[in-house]
Amino acid sequence: MKPPSILVLGRQEIDSLLDLESVVESQRAAFVGLADGTAQLAPRVLLSGPADGSVAFSYTARLSAETGPVCKFGSVNPANRIAGLPSVSALILVLDAKTGRPRSMLDGEAITTARTPAASVVAALALARPGSHIVAVLGCGTQGRAHARALAHSLPVAEVRMWSPRPEERERVAAELASELGTKVIAAGTASDAVGGAGIVVTATTSSEPVLRADWIEAGTTVLGVGSFAPDRREVGDDLMRRADAVVVDHLDTALAQAGPIVHAVSSGALTAQRIISLGEVLTGSRPGRASDRDIIFYNSVGLGIQDAAAARLVLDRAEARGLGTRIQL
């Protein structure tokens, strides 16, 4: 018997199949599924690499009993930027829900680039103070740019401030985004200049040392941390953990084990596990997020396999319906 074929989808095909609104809804469904027990999420695997800070990872999840398991295997290599290469590389494998046979292989970088800022939009809509018109983004890499685009399209943003420790990079990225978005985008000279008065602050770096100080931000600010995906990455410090009125994470067990700011703050006593809220709990109404307009909220995302499963399902359903992709035999 001839084995079933596998559908292979590359970056351009995936990009053509996705729109921000649909990806946002897929991410909302993923977090709600975690909260209500519908979704299944295996522990993340992280394998440290050489001294250049590279980390290999494996995420496995199932959106529901009726959908196929999804696994993403890839690596984060910060030094790639020097060579002009993406810092994140990954492949996603989707198995058939009934037979368990490989069904599709997708460009994991494209899925990650789409689902990460979409999840941050979900968090911002649930946690940010109404009237947050200024967004500051610390980090001008792939995710920094993607977050600026996603938030500017999804919220009533009047101004975006981009910061990077490299002046030429922040100037170039700010100019490109201003032309693309039709929104005021400025290159901030310092990180503190970027975040002052901003209602939403995004940290999208791979820094092992805090790039944001709590005394730089004002009451009512929501901080979305997306770069601290491992215990040794720590974009924000204990000062923000102490000052935050609510600390929200994408998944409690994963954050306690692998989110650098959370791991450090719990270890130092700056934060207790009991204070931490999952985004799914906020979305389902089982626990509150923001209690007042003056609350400072910190949201930490390490990135979860269930997010990949939700986005991959959206892509695969649309690709098969439109006849896109390349079929191969193993």
The model's pTM:
0.94
CA distance 158 to 249: 27
The single-letter DSSP state of residue 5 is P
With a pLDDT cut of 90, the percent of the chain lying above it is: 90
Name all domains of the chain by residue range, CATH numbers in brackets: 6-112+306-328 (3.30.1780.10), 117-303 (3.40.50.720)
pLDDT of 170-224, one tens digit each?
A: 999 999 999 999 999 999 999 999 999 999 999 999 899 999 999 999 999 999 9
Structure confidence at residue 1 (pLDDT): 61
Mean pLDDT along residues 286-307: 96
Percent of the chain past pLDDT 70, that is, above it, reads 99
H-helix or E-strand containing 306? helix 305-322
- When pLDDT is cut at 50, 70 and 90, the band that residue 278 belongs to is very high
Buried b (16+ CB within 10 A) or exposed e, 52-64: ebbbbbbbbbbbe
Judge whether residue 91 has pLDDT over 90. Answer: yes
Give the mean pLDDT of 80-97: 89
How far from 130 is each of 25, 34, 115, 153, 155, CA to CA, in Å?
20, 26, 23, 16, 10
The pLDDT of residue 3 is above 80: no
Lowest mean pLDDT among 85-94, 259-268, 319-328: 85-94
Residue 152 has a pLDDT of 97
Mean pLDDT, range 73-88, rounded to an integer: 85
